[in-house]
Amino acid sequence: MNFSLKAMYRGENSWDFLGVSRRVLAGSAIVVLVCVVAIFVRGLNLGIEFEGGGVWEVPALSQVTTDDLRDAASDAGMGDARVQRITGGEDIFRVRGELTPDVSAKSVVSKLAKAARVDAETISTRAVSPSFGDEVAGKARRALIVFLILIALYLTLRFEWKMALGALVAVAHDIAFTVGIYAIFQFEISPATVVAFLTIMGYSLYDTIVVFDRVKDNERSLSAKSRMTYPDLANVSLNQVIMRSVNTSITSVLPVLSLLVVGSLFLGATSLQEFAIALLVGLIIGSYSSLFVAMPVVSELKGRESHWAEQARSAGVLGQSNAIEDAAAVLAADRYDRSSPPRPRKKGRKR
Amino acid sequence: MRRSHLVSLILVVVFTAASLAGVLSAGWTPVLGVQLQGGVEVVLRPADEVSDEQFERAIEIIRNRVDAIGVAEPDITRQGTQVVIQLPGVKDKQRAVDLIGQTAELRFRPVLQMFDPTDPEQLSVIEEAMNQGQDGDIGNENSVETTEPEIPDSRASLSDVLTPPQEDDVSAMVALLGTSGQTGFVLAPAHVTGEVIEEAAATFQGQWIVNVSFNDEGATLFDQMAAANYGRQVAIVLDGVVESAPTINAEEFNGQAVISGSFDEAEAKNLALVLRFGALPVEFERDDVRTVSATLGEGTLRAGVIAGLVGLALVGAYMLLYYRLLGLVAICSLATSGAILWSIVAWLGESRGLALTLAGATGIVVSIGVQVDSNIVYYERIKEEVRRGRAVRSAAAGSFRAAFSTIIWADLASLISAGVLYQLTTGTVRGFALYLGITTLIDLAVSFFFMRPLVILVARRLVGERPGRLGLSNMAGGVIR
């Protein structure tokens, strides 16, 4: 394989994606397994929206300590309050505690304001009833199921069920990986993160559809007498879309990266951080899975179809799988045999 | 062919410029959500099962209360079994939280006196009467305050006379206004509250009337009140407003009362609803209460805007470097989408009170990627064709169909996810879905009506047969050196 950026830029790349796909798939499967184990072993750090409770964000003055606030919180009836100081950008204390019936939200605010020596109006609060989280989670789950069913139907209608399956496997892979990262590093999960997970699913699908669309397109333009095997077809298609995938990933990651770096490190907006981490991880993994998970799965499934199995057999008898450059040339010839004949390509380049 | 492209381009530019100019000259700006400018957000859920009618009525009442606080852009929506109330920029946050979802009662108060709220002389008389009455009823707490209003010749204003909401106790004498605000009432302590009403219905019997039936306890209480106030008016008071003040025409009702008057159908039905459901027909639990301080909101907004601009600049720079002239087209497409989006968001804020939330803003940032991708899909197709030896101008025109088909199918998946999320979720996720959907639609339109003609024109006029301008230098095949 010839990993040259220049070749990629010129569109001369001819990488054997499918040749390495089994090893890459196995690697992905192991990573996903690790993530799933992490989710079960370490559990998820759920935000108050899912567990219920209260959060208060208090502007921090330099002479006030977290202990002052912890005392104020326990004074107001919350003995188990957790107080964090969040620096970087605006300096704030974040107090999180459980809301029992004898804790009055009002007295918590006034006591915290007094301890932190700030005006009560400058404190941001959040109080969530325990049942709310169940509802949020329940709704998200229902929306997810409906979404997956519709997408499966859509992809089956647009492409075929094998591709729908491949796309869903890739989506599952991305979600497992991202949620796994949250479990491993114990990042807090809020509705904002759920939004990010959903975005990742959408993005991953979007990416996969672009790849599949190209494969279908190429498949249609194959002439009947073509000797191409399905992995060859997939390989050519992947090589054709890789530059688009790379560029799209870069241009989608740039805004998210700037949201993460500029937004939360320099300006200290923690609410932006919640989105950005999940999005960043998810976007990258989504592009990867379209190329290295979705397509190989489809290729495995399609390779068993009688027509493609026949092709593969005859290629085996002849003792050659088409070199990717040749396959691309064959494809181009099939496609453009009428209107504009392709310029002769250099053939026989060794891989 | 060439003309239609030019027309399409000009139309898009004119349309975009006109909508942006319209929005700007009307002074519309996007309404910012609670997390972006500070304010209050409350999610309420009924404690028990409620009918649709009750729910709608409850939302109506909450809306009236919010209007009374005077919030610029309140957003109150029913989302499934919840009510989501967003009050961006509200000043007194704690009071707003207290007021929303409070189950004030319906009260029957005998009318002591009626007055004209616009007549200062009457007001002074009423004020004096009220002060005496309150001294008798409430006592010590007010004794300090009473020194103040007794300054001679001070002209009483309406707000001095009326009882403020927090002092509107069942057992106090109060001064309140009617629904129209034209009539003032001085009212005795309430004997009967809305809890004892079993059923109330509006019927037509020559004229519109409202039939009310009480439970056993209510029947006794109501008869007691009727006996004491025979021939006088009794006010039906809801949330500090006198809804109606019928005259008592009997001393004994035995649990059945008929309220008649010159009602039209709507008035009668509304009164029946008020009687049946009391103030808030539903007892609400506060699922989620969030207050965001103005400084935190502004900080988040500033961080988001700066991060968004930096991100856009990076994307623009990358596209220029990689695609040269086509990169410029991509930047123009982004600018066009941005202008259209701004107009839509401002219009939604102005006409529907729909705020741009933090989640929505994130959806928009994400959509930058989708938008740019539509460009990339197309450009890569063009480059591929050119590499195969096709002339740039014919490649630009010829590869759009295939590229656009890819764009449509991929965007359709985004639209499906936006639709499902919008329908089935609430709050944060819903806001995200809305803006994801809007930006995806904009992307489709801009790709077709703006990007395509511009690319084709650029390829014809500026590139000619110099693909270097598209970042296609040193192309395969050794054609260009």
CATH number for A227: 1.20.1640.10
Cβ–Cβ contact A250 with B under 8 A = yes
CA-based R_g, chain A, Å? 27
A chain contacts of residue B288, beta-carbon cutoff 8 Å: 49, 126-129, 132
Say if B367 falls within a structural domain.
yes
Residue B215 pLDDT level (bands cut at 50, 70, 90): confident
B197 DSSP β-pair partners: B214
Note whether A123 and A137 are same-domain residues.
no
Note whether B97 and B214 are same-domain residues.
no
Instruction: Measure B395 CA to nearest chain A CA, in Å.
Output: 11
B chain contacts of residue A203, beta-carbon cutoff 8 Å: 366, 369
Note whether B123 and B99 are same-domain residues.
no
Residue A326 pLDDT level (bands cut at 50, 70, 90): low
Cβ–Cβ contact B285 with A under 8 A = yes
Q: What is the pLDDT of residues B95-133, one digit of tens each?
A: 777 767 665 567 888 888 888 887 777 777 777 777 766
User: Which domain covers residue A72, as residue numbers?
Assistant: 53-128
Position B194 scores a pLDDT of 73
Across B11-31, average pLDDT: 91
Here the CATH number for the domain that contains residue B463 is 1.20.1640.10
Q: Is the pLDDT of residue B60 over 80?
A: no
Note whether A12 and A68 are same-domain residues.
no
Contact B201, B272 (CB under 8 A): yes
Where do the H-state alpha helices sit in B192-324?
Answer: 216-228, 265-277, 294-323
Note whether B155 and B89 are same-domain residues.
no
Q: What is the pLDDT of residues A151-192, one digit of tens each?
A: 899 999 989 999 999 999 999 999 999 999 989 988 888 877
**Separation of alpha carbons B307 and A255, rounded Å:** 7
Beta-carbon contacts of residue A27 (< 8 Å; ≥ 6 apart): none
Note whether A270 and A190 are same-domain residues.
yes
Note whether B163 and B254 are same-domain residues.
yes
Note whether B89 and B112 are same-domain residues.
no
Number of domains in chain B: 3
Note whether A157 and A275 are same-domain residues.
yes
| Residue in B closest to A247 by C-alpha | B376
B292 DSSP β-pair partners: B39
Cβ–Cβ contact B470 with A under 8 A = no
- Which residue in the set B307, B372, B387 is minimally distant from A263, CB to CB? B307
Last residue of one domain, picked from the residues A128, A159, A191: A128
Note whether A270 and A232 are same-domain residues.
yes
A chain contacts of residue B436, beta-carbon cutoff 8 Å: 199, 202
Q: Is the pLDDT of residue A36 over 60?
A: yes
What's the mean per-residue pLDDT of chain A?
80
Number of domains in chain A: 2
Note whether A118 and A189 are same-domain residues.
no
Phi/psi zone of residue A60: left (φ > 0), alpha (ψ -120 to 50 degrees), beta? beta
Say if A346 falls within a structural domain.
no
Higher pLDDT, A316 or B227: B227
- H-run or E-run covering B282: none
Note whether A161 and A241 are same-domain residues.
yes
Note whether A235 and A88 are same-domain residues.
no
Q: Alpha carbon of B351 to those of A323, B337, B354, B437: distances in Å?
A: 61, 21, 8, 19
User: Which domain covers residue B331, as residue numbers?
Assistant: 2-26+293-473
Least confident of A45-54, B52-61, B337-346: B52-61
The secondary structure of chain B in percent helix, strand, coil, rounded to multiples of 5, reads 60, 20, 25
**Separation of alpha carbons B480 and B468, rounded Å:** 9
Q: Alpha carbon of B5 to those of A38, B12, B393, B396: distances in Å?
A: 55, 11, 14, 13
Q: What is the pLDDT of residues B377-391, one digit of tens each?
A: 999 888 888 888 888
Instruction: Measure A317 CA to nearest chain B CA, in Å.
Output: 32
Say if A113 falls within a structural domain.
yes
The answer to whether the Cβ–Cβ distance between A251 and B318 falls below 8 Å is yes
- Strands B39-46 vs B192-193: parallel, antiparallel or unpaired: unpaired
The answer to whether the Cβ–Cβ distance between B365 and A248 falls below 8 Å is no
A chain contacts of residue B318, beta-carbon cutoff 8 Å: 247, 250-251, 254
Sign, CA dihedral A297-A298-A299-A302, equals positive
Instruction: Measure B23 CA to nearest chain A CA, in Å.
Output: 27
Last residue of one domain, picked from the residues B254, B289, B324: B289
Across the A/B interface, how many CB contacts are shorter than 8 Å?
259
Higher pLDDT, B478 or B193: B193
A chain contacts of residue B359, beta-carbon cutoff 8 Å: 191-192, 195
B178 DSSP β-pair partners: B242
Q: Considering only residues 74 to 103 of chain A, which have any Cβ-Cβ distance to chain B shorter than 8 Å?
A: 89-90, 92
Q: What is the pLDDT of residues B255-279, one digit of tens each?
A: 888 887 777 887 787 777 667 655 5
Q: What is the pLDDT of residues A93-152, one digit of tens each?
A: 888 888 777 777 777 888 888 888 888 888 888 888 877 777 777 887 888 889 889 989
Note whether A160 and A35 are same-domain residues.
yes
Cβ–Cβ contact B137 with A under 8 A = no
Here the CATH number for the domain that contains residue B65 is 3.30.70.3400
User: At A338, phi and psi to the nearest 5?
Assistant: -90, -70
- What tokens appear for A133 in the block? 């989280």
| Residue in A closest to B402 by C-alpha | A217
| DSSP result, A222-253 | --TT----HHHHHHHHHHHHHHHHHHHHHHHH
Position B335 scores a pLDDT of 93
- Which residue in the set B315, B365, B388 is minimally distant from A259, CB to CB? B365
C-beta atoms surrounding A141 within 10 Å: 11
Instruction: Measure A336 CA to nearest chain B CA, in Å.
Output: 10
End-to-end CA distance of chain B: 32
The answer to whether the Cβ–Cβ distance between B477 and A343 falls below 8 Å is yes
Here the CATH number for the domain that contains residue B170 is 3.30.1360.200
Note whether B53 and B188 are same-domain residues.
no
**Separation of alpha carbons B255 and B269, rounded Å:** 20
Q: Considering only residues 64 to 83 of chain B, which have any Cβ-Cβ distance to chain A shorter than 8 Å?
A: 80, 82
Note whether B200 and B211 are same-domain residues.
yes
Say if B239 falls within a structural domain.
yes
Say if B32 falls within a structural domain.
no
Note whether A38 and A79 are same-domain residues.
no
Position B453 scores a pLDDT of 92
Contact B422, B430 (CB under 8 A): yes
Q: What is the pLDDT of residues A198-214, one digit of tens each?
A: 778 888 888 898 889 88
Last residue of one domain, picked from the residues A104, A128, A152: A128
Note whether B61 and B137 are same-domain residues.
no
Note whether B78 and B162 are same-domain residues.
no
The answer to whether the Cβ–Cβ distance between B372 and A248 falls below 8 Å is yes
The answer to whether the Cβ–Cβ distance between A209 and B413 falls below 8 Å is yes
Question: The whole model's pTM is what?
Answer: 0.72
Higher pLDDT, B401 or A344: B401
B chain contacts of residue A57, beta-carbon cutoff 8 Å: 293, 296
| Residue in A closest to B385 by C-alpha | A342
Note whether A17 and A112 are same-domain residues.
no
Note whether B249 and B379 are same-domain residues.
no
Last residue of one domain, picked from the residues A128, A147, A179: A128
Highest mean pLDDT: which of A40-44, B3-7, B186-190?
A40-44
Q: Considering only residues 27 to 46 of chain A, which have any Cβ-Cβ distance to chain B shorter than 8 Å?
A: none
Note whether A124 and A178 are same-domain residues.
no
Note whether B256 and B368 are same-domain residues.
no
A chain contacts of residue B293, beta-carbon cutoff 8 Å: 57, 59, 121-124
**Separation of alpha carbons B337 and B340, rounded Å:** 5
Note whether B70 and B219 are same-domain residues.
no
Across A323-348, average pLDDT: 56
